[in-house]
Structure 1
Amino acid sequence: MTAQGNMNKSSVGTEAIDPRSNSSRDEEVDLYLVTWNGKDDPEHPYNWSSLRKWTITILLSNGGLVTLMSGAMLAPALQSISADLHTGEEETQIFLSIFVLAFAFGPMILSPLAEVFGRRPVWILSSCFYILWNTVAGFSRTPGLMIASRVLSGIGASAEFAISNPVLSDCWIPSQRGLSFAISTFIPLLGPAIGPIIGGAVSQSIGWRWTFWILSIYDSLLVVIALFVFSETYEIIILNRRAAKLRKSTGNPYHTQWHEASEKLGDRLSHSLTRPIRLLLTQPVLQVVAIFLAYNFGILYLVLSTFATLWIDRYGQTETQSGLNYIALVIGYTIAAQVGSRMMDKLWAYLEAKAGNNTAPEYRVPLMIPGAILIPVGLFIYGWTAEKHMHWIVPDIGIAILGCGIINNTQSLQAYVMDAYHDYVASASAASQFLRSIAGFAFPIFAPAMYNNLGYGWGNSLLALTFVVIGWPAPFLLWRYGARLRAMGSKQQ
């Protein structure tokens, strides 16, 4: 358990590698360095059984379902909540979008904690925190308590963004990442469709407060299951525990390549908690990814914040009927997740073979091109068909195309970050998602005014044209200059 088979440590600006691979070193062998016992070490998550890996993946996918349902489930019930809490349109809209704002700040804390204490305890405790405050939201009698409980429950729910992708990176090798994305994203992507449907039906029948309590009950069930099936997946934590066990049994200063035997928990925490913001400030490639993700997410939440209102006000549908239109969005999500994820693996294998078995994070970029085209197309179709009050199915086709493009881009960018920052995927993912969550909160605030002044046609055309200016150069920038941008970044991890 010492220096047999030192693991290569992926660093910023390097190619994606298998962390179990051996590296030859000229320096003297460190007898107390704890590493993996070769590529077939059964304790490495890559070598776990498929059943074990899929069980954890699907569990976390259901946690993602709760998060996305919590963000969308409230939309059809906003008018009922407004009437009960005596709030205006803009303040009521904040009840929906403030939840997304928490996604910006939650992962900036939870991701570093997951790198110090492990994925498992952070996910379980964050889920419990969500359950507590989401339940409180259902008891809210004042706007202040509703906003506070939505912020706090959003921080707990943001564990989905802090933990899920890192766990995929922990368990699945890069050539299987597309398949793992296809399965792991399918369940959460049902949230934007199931959430409003359940939210509309529940609000109309037993009251909007149960839209919160139902999710709390479901997430409580997931936490109980996690206690039995969610094993720790982070290789650094697994090896650190192995080293600690050896230190205790032998009295010798066993350590890992990441942490010395004498390193204190406080020092690790202080360094880790600042890692996401340091990465965002020092890594040019993460800044490019963050800006692109921000506009993607901002557009999506701007459109979704007024989606239910469109059907209720302009098409005269009930809350329950309006929720059914979200099925179109999830169809677009699902097509992109399933087709795009499989194409991701095929493109990776093709480009790897073409480059003589060399790999690079840029192999994820080509899949962004269809997404960059679909987003403005979907916005144009949705906006102008809604403006002209065409049959409901035509705006739904537009929203499905938009959703397809959003997921295509998001998956590609997430995989890019996972490959470029292997050892600190959690912190790098949090850094890349920070701006997108702020955009997801801010964009819906001006949605009612934009659509009131410009209408759905010109309003969505403005969004589409802006996306063309920002979004179309992004894939070419990352493909051509991605490696150079990563090399420029200061390697402060």
Structure 2
Amino acid sequence: MTTPIPLSSELPPGDERSRPATTGDTSPFSTASSEEKASPTPTPKQDGDVEVLEWDDPNDPANPVNFSKTRKWVITLSCLLGTLLIPLNGTSITVAHEQLDRVFNINESVFPHSYWIVTSWSVGGAVFILVGLPLLEDLGVRLGYMIFYLFFLLMIIPQALAPNFATLVITRFFSGGCVTLLANTAVSIIPDIWVGDKARSVPVSLYILCYLMGSTLGPPLFAPVVQFLSTWRWIFYIQLIIYGTFLPFFYFTIRETRADVILRRRAKNLRRTTGRSIYTRAELNQTSLISTLASSVYRPIYLLATEPVLIACTFWSAFSFGTVFLFTQSTEQVYIGLYGWNVWSTGYIQIAIVIGEVLGWFASFYGTHLYFASEPRNTETPGVPIPEARLYVSIFGSFVGITGGMFVYAWTAYPQIHWIAPTIGLGMVGFGIQTVVSALADYVVDIYAGSGYAASAVCSIAAGENLVAGFLPLAAQGMYTTLGFQWASSLLAFVALILSFAPVMFVWEGRWFRERSPFMRVGGQANASGVVS
């Protein structure tokens, strides 16, 4: 998975929080949309022998923050639709593992070898999120999205026609990586066009909901393929039809929203047509792609190794999201073992998690209200909300939702108890996952934005989430077989219980942690001492 938070271009020009320090604009592409060309030309300003191109005025219609509200919502909803659809590729194939076993002679009596195609998908996401962001910065939002979407679509073709299991493993590595970059591109559009926390709150929360739902809906949506059609290949045939149909839709609705990219293309056009030395600030301050790539890999690793808050957040968020993928394995064992269901039936039952996620979205939305309501109580930085207020609802979601839901899922797992009981537990966990991931998305961006390291911080969380989602479910078969349904789920509940104390500690002593970090916001400003370059 990708963490549902802005990993690049998080903040528009002039916002109260700085942009990530890892951006660099060196795009060789100069194509501008018709509406960009028709807009008033920004004013060049003299800087020695070089003219620096800037916006003509704060209300320049070419600036994405000045798009009309209708246009903003068209772009946003288009990105949200893509975010809902593309993760389906990750978990949908799990409902067809019995067919894969027969076709490719896979023995799963001891170990779930068929799950390697999901592990590969998730590892691809972890790798691409570290090395692919500089490419997106260079390409811009629209061009980057279309290139990786097309590559993603092409990678599904060999999945549908795979002659052997290795083909699935390899191609899904690349499709999973593309999903990560596409999701990052989609979420980076939101702060490019919506200015301020309040304006961004609804689009960002909807983005997180769409990504979680897209990752969860794979099994229930594609279970009918296994139930009614003759081959698992139809899972990918249908995806080819869906993604191919939406290709022209995304082409016409997703527009360029990176202000730096729009200005850069305009400056290049002016250099070509006038011969003048006109450049943007980003062009003058650009770094090499190799340097940017090295920083994008090094910084998340460095932060994850040195920041206790980020370590705790990564474990908490990664475990929470990893349970979505874990349930693709454990529900099969529980519902087949207890109630004698078919494999495809266990795919349908995961819709309970989706229902929980939707309910969790409403709770997260209330959590945003609590966050803004904390502003009068902020004695550290008067006039802004308390960063740790982001976590209030997630504490309830983590203790009651994930931990409580896991215990319900564990201790209602008896054949004499109706199947609706453990299913309620699944819904509770879905509720908790949504509140936790949503709260962490905002909290990490808030506390690291002042130093410009928010992108690197959430990048480390994204990589952790993908790795846990890829490898945790591999332990499900052995764990549920050895410990039994009740104690296997209880073990997960106890892990969730321990991790649930992390937000309590942050709410209690969050200021203390932030004051001792060279990267977090202290008194509304970043403590820049010790920041690595």
State whether structure 2 residue 81 is matched by structure 1 residue 52.
no
Cα distance, 1:475 vs. partner? 4.9
Match of 2:397 in 1: 371
State whether structure 2 residue 32 is matched by structure 1 residue 10.
no
1:239-258 residue pairs with structure 2 within 5 A? Answer: 239-258=263-282
Cα distance, 1:225 vs. partner? 1.3
Quote the Cα distance in structure 1 between the aligned partners of 2:387 and 2:264: 27
Q: Specify which of 190, 212, 230 is matched with residue 236 of structure 2.
A: 212
Match of 1:332 in 2: 356
Does the residue aligned with 2:383 lie in a helix, a strand or coil?
A: coil
1:392-443 per-position Cα deviation (integer Å, ceiling 9, x unaligned)? 1111111111111111111112223444448776655333211111111111
Match of 1:450 in 2: 479
Match of 1:358 in 2: 384
1:124-161 per-position Cα deviation (integer Å, ceiling 9, x unaligned)? 11111221122211212312112112212212222244
State whether structure 2 residue 157 is matched by structure 1 residue 128.
no
Quote the Cα distance in structure 1 between the aligned partners of 2:223 and 2:16: 51
State whether structure 2 residue 498 is matched by structure 1 residue 469.
yes
Quote the Cα distance in structure 2 between the aligned partners of 1:140 and 1:190: 27
Quote the Cα distance in structure 2 between the aligned partners of 1:253 and 1:326: 59
Please identify, of 380-389 and 202-211, the stretch whose mean Cα deviation from structure 2 is larger.
380-389
Q: Specify which of 334, 346, 349 is matched with residue 310 of structure 1.
A: 334
1:90-239 residue pairs with structure 2 within 5 A? Answer: 90-172=112-194, 173-192=196-215, 194-206=217-229, 207-239=231-263
> For residues 86 and 389 of structure 1, do their structure 2 counterparts lie closer, same or farther at Cα, with a shift above 3 Å needed?
farther
1:321-345 per-position Cα deviation (integer Å, ceiling 9, x unaligned)? 32221121100111112331x2243
Match of 2:301 in 1: 281
Quote the Cα distance in structure 2 between the aligned partners of 1:457 and 1:152: 37
Match of 1:16 in 2: none
Quote the Cα distance in structure 1 between the aligned partners of 2:359 and 2:255: 31
Q: Specify which of 401, 407, 411 is matched with residue 384 of structure 1.
A: 411
Please identify, of 380-389 and 482-491, the stretch whose mean Cα deviation from structure 2 is larger.
482-491
Quote the Cα distance in structure 2 between the aligned partners of 1:75 and 1:48: 42
Please identify, of 462-471 and 349-358, the stretch whose mean Cα deviation from structure 2 is larger.
349-358
Does the residue aligned with 1:317 lie in a helix, a strand or coil?
A: coil
State whether structure 2 residue 299 is matched by structure 1 residue 270.
no
Does the residue aligned with 2:288 lie in a helix, a strand or coil?
A: helix
> For residues 476 and 164 of structure 1, do their structure 2 counterparts lie closer, same or farther at Cα, with a shift above 3 Å needed?
farther
Does the residue aligned with 1:131 lie in a helix, a strand or coil?
A: helix
- Check conservation: 1:298, 1:440, Cα contact below 8 A: yes
Quote the Cα distance in structure 2 between the aligned partners of 1:385 and 1:393: 9
- Check conservation: 1:232, 1:238, Cα contact below 8 A: yes
Cα distance, 1:319 vs. partner? 3.7
Does the residue aligned with 2:62 lie in a helix, a strand or coil?
A: coil
Please identify, of 430-439 and 38-47, the stretch whose mean Cα deviation from structure 2 is larger.
38-47
> For residues 8 and 384 of structure 1, do their structure 2 counterparts lie closer, same or farther at Cα, with a shift above 3 Å needed?
closer
- Check conservation: 1:179, 1:345, Cα contact below 8 A: no
Cα distance, 1:122 vs. partner? 1.9
Q: Specify which of 354, 366, 378 is matched with residue 343 of structure 1.
A: 366
- Check conservation: 1:182, 1:338, Cα contact below 8 A: no
Quote the Cα distance in structure 1 between the aligned partners of 2:324 and 2:345: 21
Match of 1:483 in 2: 514
Cα distance, 1:52 vs. partner? 1.9
Quote the Cα distance in structure 2 between the aligned partners of 1:120 and 1:260: 23
Whichever residue aligns with residue 443 of structure 1, its letter is L
RMSD of equivalent CA atoms = 3.0
> For residues 198 and 7 of structure 1, do their structure 2 counterparts lie closer, same or farther at Cα, with a shift above 3 Å needed?
closer
- Check conservation: 1:381, 1:395, Cα contact below 8 A: yes
Q: Specify which of 51, 68, 78 is matched with residue 87 of structure 2.
A: 68
Q: Which structure dedicates a bigger proportion of its chain to helix? A: 1
Q: Please, which runs of 5 or more residues in structure 1 have no aligned partner?
A: 14-27
Cα distance, 1:42 vs. partner? 2.5
1:83-137 per-position Cα deviation (integer Å, ceiling 9, x unaligned)? 1111022211222332222221122223221122212222211111221122211
Match of 2:420 in 1: 393
Quote the Cα distance in structure 2 between the aligned partners of 1:236 and 1:428: 23
Overall identity of the aligned pairs, in %: 25
